Amino acid sequence: MLTTSLAVLASALQPASAISPAKATDLCLDSRMRKMAADLVGTWSQNYPFARVIIGSDGQYGDLGVPHPAVTGSNFVVCAASYNLIKVGRDGRSYSVTMDRFYFRITDTGEGYQVSLEDLPDSLEGTGMTSRELIGRFKIDGRPYADILAENQRHIEGRRQ
């Protein structure tokens, strides 16, 4: 079962009997967990117009950089990872969409594992995060997406004059 968590990584709730470092690392590196996290980024991207544009329906084809444990608990690990997606533009040239850092949680439910996004909220409402902060996490071909948006806006305004 795939879900998206609205929890913020800043919680310092770490039980005394956390899962072992080796097990936490194995879970973060597990290809099935990484695939589920990439799928969730793709699903998440449909909630925001800018993300639908740059990720679209191809989010599940993204790749996670080498994830590593950031926080462990008695039945979960929060993994830090990067995200990279290669897309093909309208002109037939490829480009990359990247997010240098995001967090996903793997929870042992007793019957298997559940993966959720830790710091990519379904909605900004009630999170204290701004759309500018969220947009600022993405790059296109290594350039900050916020810069590309500003450049496009200047180009559009120049045409109007």
| pLDDT 10s digits, 74-110 | 999 999 999 999 998 889 999 999 999 999 999 999 9
pLDDT tens digits, one per residue of 50-63: 999 899 889 889 99
End-to-end CA distance of the chain: 52
> Coil, strand or helix: which one is 41?
helix
pTM of this structure: 0.82
In contact, 139 and 98? CB cutoff 8 Å: yes
CA angle 97, 122, 154 (to 5 degrees): 45
pLDDT tens for 1-55 read 334 332 333 333 444 567 999 999 999 999 999 999 999 999 999 999 999 989 9
Alpha carbons 25 and 151: distance in angstroms, whole number: 40
